[in-house]
Chain A
Amino acid sequence: MKQKTVKANVQNPSRRSFLTRSLAPMAGVAALAPFVKTFGKAARPELLTDPTNLPPTPFNFTPFTVPLFKPPVIQPTALTPAPGSAQASLGSAAVYHGIAPEFSKSHPAHGADWNDAALKTYKVDILPTTQQILPGVETPCAGYNAIWPGPTFLSNFNEPCVVRVTNHGDTETSLHLHGGHTPAHADGHPNFYVHPGKTRDYYYPNIVPREHPGGPFDMSEAPSTMWYHDHGNDFTAINAASCHAGFHLFTDDLEKQLIASNVLPPTYGDTDVPLAFSDRRLNADGTQFWDPLEHDGYLGDLICVNGNAFPVMKVQRRKYRFRFLGAALARVFHFKMSNNMPFLMIGNDAWLLPQAVGATSFTLTPAKRADVIIDFRNAPKEVFLQNAYTQTNGRGPDKIDLANAKPVMKFIVEGAPVANDIKVAVGTRLRPHVPILPSEIQTTRVFTFERGNGVWQVNKELWDPRRADAQPQLNGAERWILQNKSGGWWHPIHIHLEAHQIQKINGSRPSAFNAAKVDTSILEGNTTVELFMKFRTFTGPIVFHCHNLNHEDMRMMKQFDPRPPGSPSPLTGQSFSVPPEICGIPAEELADPHNHLFL
């Protein structure tokens, strides 16, 4: 491994002082200004990513010196006024955007078996802060509780939570729990904002869909690796670039049993580590290079893992569980280890696989998660995680070049092999998968994603927040065919609400890794994905969209509204008619005498 080290005129790679910062009073936070450092003439370590026509980050730095940051676990906190109380209702001073109506026990979707008594409440503030993407360079951003990635949530099945989100930033925001099964009000619909200065109570029942209406919970649907991120339209990309992302890990009895029997490591213990991959590009003053006129896809030249460029992690000679997250706006990764040692894939997106499968390399697009075991038992003392995809524009990656993969993260492997290591191996049974059967399918829908005259269209239509593009029967099952006819462009298509099951990719059965549950299907250039999906528990509107965030902000998006038979969606395409309590926007704000503004 040839590693270019640039003259080290930076301070000691200082670990971020996230604790002091997150505790800083607002006045102090507001006073933070870009901290400008000049590092002399820019050098370009060869690990920086492929040439684009964008200016390279003009800082010298020594890669693989900053220790990997592991976001702290968020602790529950009492909320005053209480969620769901009159003082915290829609339009109130304390919680302007209110809470999902499903929070109420009397709501028809609120199950009698939902464990209301186990409610945990949390507070998340979107705060201006700075982040050392490169050591010694303070980059202004806004983070969930002023850190990037935001604090990690650890949730258990049927232990509901309310996350009270206050937007201290200066742009509209909306929070999406990606991989979650949540009411529409809390789903991060792009128009269901948290206005600057306002607060919304996000209600996550932390339940899973039922096997059939009124039946038991379908525990095959219990997620493991969710994440939360910005979803407010017009600002999704810039908010993501401003570091709006965090992990939300979920466990149920089955996963706890896998941990108790030493198949998997303890959740979020020392050997269960989240890895959020993104890319950034800096200006000479430490701010981020950002081009609001770039609509193809943002590409940075610094690969960040959990908020720091090219970090290093010390590991023991044992198996680690890594929750890989594609947190980039547009970059597609293809990961391998520098010594070609294999990965053990145990989960795709939010869900554990039916059984673990081996892989020597794998692709991670924006929004995708890969739950991966890496066994360092026989690893060399230093080993690198590498990215083999070359990419020079936002259209998609160019080619997988395994021989010239570039390092993104270093592992220093220490000590002797650890006794009593976890037992997961190729073929280990994890979460049983319950396939949706062809006999259950009620409707087939085709969605064709195209580029026409520089704008994104789905079925030749543009996004319309007043129109439900599909009204699946609530609790029904459908076949969706996603066609990418946009030339060579890649689009990772994320469908909210619950998992979908890929049946075919370009007519062929998917690999074992892709054959169970996902929430994001990768539409490579000119690819067709056929999937089965159920639409359980919650009515809409609920969106599905491209997760290249520049495409998403250009409204490469559609929405569906699962409805019981005989109860059509109010989203007729004529006027905006989502009830205020569903969108969390008070009626006064929705008033639209000219039928122009919908929110």
Chain B
Amino acid sequence: MHLNLRTFISGMGPLFLAGAVRAAEAPARPAAKGSYPRANDVNPYLKHRNNGLVSDRFPDAVVTGHDDRSYRFYTDLIAGKMVFINFMYVRCRGICAGNTEAMCRIHDALKPRMGKDVFMVSLSVDPAEDTPEALRFYMETREAKGRAGWTFAVGTPADTEVIRRVFGAYDPDRKADEVVTNHSGMLTFGNDRNNRWAALPTVSNLGQVLHSFDNITRAPRSRYI
């Protein structure tokens, strides 16, 4: 009765299945350059959870890291961890530079924990262009290279779209949502073990982000949801 997403995704039909298989290869181009692939408005992942984990809804799609390795989005990057997750793309001339800079400051502040119990994932929303090589170039130019526990990753367009929706990183106004330069500048963070997640603007006051992260990741698992 209760459908676990990670077993669910393999049955999602050709679109998602194909996405998972193709992940390690060069991803297909979206129909219109510079815009998101159109996805069904209905989020297939919002199932009744019966007190399960929020992350039951995180797709376990295969994504490619900046290090050319394949990762399962949930199992390898999130499961059992405290994680910061944001969305970026290499060609961005807007908010990405500031966001990545802010992530670097968070990384500095949490340095002793990074790669041990705290991790970061920056997922590309421009899967057509962002090869692992492009991600490496971006990391080098943005001071993000060589930082422990921080994975830049790119998935297929279809998987990216689903992940973006699950994380609420989209605009309910479809027109606004289709413009990739409008992409979300929020930083989602949480703790898979206590099932608590929240989000703030990535470029929020650093103290605010660290304090909230602490609040969210240390609180015990809620009894109420």
Question: Could you tell me which A residues sit within 8 Å of B by CB distance?
Answer: 34, 53-55, 58, 128, 140-142, 170-172, 196, 233-235, 238, 241-242, 283-285, 287-296, 393-395, 451-457, 462-466, 487-488, 553-555, 576, 592, 594-599
**A453: which of B184, B198, B199, B216 is its contact (CB, 8 Å)?**
B184
Q: Which residues between 40 and 82 of chain B lie within 8 Å of chain A, taking CB atoms?
A: 41-43, 46-51, 54
Cβ of B43 and Cβ of A462 under 8 Å apart?
no
A-side interface mostly: loop
In the complex, A491 Cα to B41 Cα: how many Å?
24
Residue interface mask B189-225, A partner, CB < 8 A = 1: 0100000111111111111101110111001101111
**B201: which of A393, A455, A487, A594 is its contact (CB, 8 Å)?**
A455
In the complex, A170 Cα to B225 Cα: how many Å?
13
Binding stretch for chain A, among B27-35, B152-160, B164-172: B164-172
Question: Is B12 an interface residue, CB under 8 A from the partner?
Answer: no
Residue of B at shortest CB range from A56?
B48
What's the nearest-Cβ distance from chain B to residue A434, in Å? Answer: 39
**B169: which of A53, A238, A454 is its contact (CB, 8 Å)?**
A454
What's the nearest-Cβ distance from chain A to residue B191, in Å? Answer: 11
Given A170-B223, A287-B224, A454-B184, decide whether A553 and B198 contact each other with a Cβ distance below 8 A: yes
- The 9 lowest CB-CB distance pairs between A and B, nearest first, are A454-B184, A453-B185, A290-B225, A455-B201, A292-B197, A598-B207, A293-B168, A170-B220, A53-B42
Chain A residues near B219 (CB-CB < 8 A): 170-172, 196, 235
Cβ of A555 and Cβ of B47 under 8 Å apart?
no
Chain A residues near B200 (CB-CB < 8 A): 455, 554-555
In the complex, A576 Cα to B201 Cα: how many Å?
20
Cβ of B168 and Cβ of A393 under 8 Å apart?
no
Chain A residues near B215 (CB-CB < 8 A): 172, 234-235
Chain A residues near B109 (CB-CB < 8 A): 594, 596
In the complex, A222 Cα to B168 Cα: how many Å?
42
- Interface size on B, as a range, is 35 or more
Cβ of B50 and Cβ of A234 under 8 Å apart?
no
Chain A residues near B207 (CB-CB < 8 A): 465-466, 576, 592, 595-598
**A293: which of B42, B48, B167 is its contact (CB, 8 Å)?**
B167
Question: Is B94 an interface residue, CB under 8 A from the partner?
Answer: yes
Cβ of A452 and Cβ of B199 under 8 Å apart?
no
Question: Is B95 an interface residue, CB under 8 A from the partner?
Answer: yes
Residue of B at shortest CB range from A57?
B48
Residue of A283, A289, A290, A463 ringed by the most chain B CB atoms within 10 A = A283
What's the nearest-Cβ distance from chain A to residue B36, in Å? Answer: 13
**B51: which of A170, A285, A462 is its contact (CB, 8 Å)?**
A285
In the complex, A41 Cα to B75 Cα: how many Å?
33
**A289: which of B48, B168, B198, B211 is its contact (CB, 8 Å)?**
B48
Cβ of B168 and Cβ of A295 under 8 Å apart?
yes
Chain A residues near B25 (CB-CB < 8 A): none
Chain B residues near A53 (CB-CB < 8 A): 41-43, 46
What's the nearest-Cβ distance from chain B to residue A417, in Å? Answer: 45
In the complex, A487 Cα to B50 Cα: how many Å?
36
What's the nearest-Cβ distance from chain B to residue A242, in Å? Answer: 5
**A555: which of B48, B94, B176, B204 is its contact (CB, 8 Å)?**
B204
Chain A residues near B202 (CB-CB < 8 A): 455
Residue of B at shortest CB range from A466?
B205
Chain B residues near A457 (CB-CB < 8 A): 201
Chain B residues near A283 (CB-CB < 8 A): 48-51
What's the nearest-Cβ distance from chain A to residue B126, in Å? Answer: 15
Chain B residues near A462 (CB-CB < 8 A): 201, 203-205
Chain B residues near A295 (CB-CB < 8 A): 168, 186, 199
| Interface pairs (6), CB distance under 8 Å | A283-B50, A284-B48, A287-B50, A451-B171, A454-B170, A598-B208
What's the nearest-Cβ distance from chain A to residue B84, in Å? Answer: 14
Cβ of B208 and Cβ of A463 under 8 Å apart?
yes
Given A293-B167, A293-B199, decide whether A554 and B49 contact each other with a Cβ distance below 8 A: no
What's the nearest-Cβ distance from chain A to residue B125, in Å? Answer: 11
In the complex, A263 Cα to B108 Cα: how many Å?
65
Question: Is B151 an interface residue, CB under 8 A from the partner?
Answer: no
Given A453-B182, A597-B210, decide whether A292 and B190 contact each other with a Cβ distance below 8 A: yes
Cβ of B212 and Cβ of A234 under 8 Å apart?
yes
Cβ of B48 and Cβ of A296 under 8 Å apart?
no
What's the nearest-Cβ distance from chain A to residue B14, in Å? Answer: 22
Question: Is B183 an interface residue, CB under 8 A from the partner?
Answer: yes
In the complex, A99 Cα to B16 Cα: how many Å?
57
In the complex, A295 Cα to B211 Cα: how many Å?
19
Given A554-B199, A554-B201, decide whether A288 and B50 contact each other with a Cβ distance below 8 A: no
Residue of B at shortest CB range from A58?
B48
Cβ of B224 and Cβ of A142 under 8 Å apart?
yes
In the complex, A282 Cα to B223 Cα: how many Å?
14
Chain B residues near A241 (CB-CB < 8 A): 224-225
Cβ of B225 and Cβ of A238 under 8 Å apart?
yes
Residue of B at shortest CB range from A456?
B201
Chain B residues near A395 (CB-CB < 8 A): 172-173
Chain B residues near A393 (CB-CB < 8 A): 172
Chain A residues near B224 (CB-CB < 8 A): 140-142, 238, 241-242, 287-288, 290
Cβ of B48 and Cβ of A170 under 8 Å apart?
no
In the complex, A508 Cα to B117 Cα: how many Å?
56
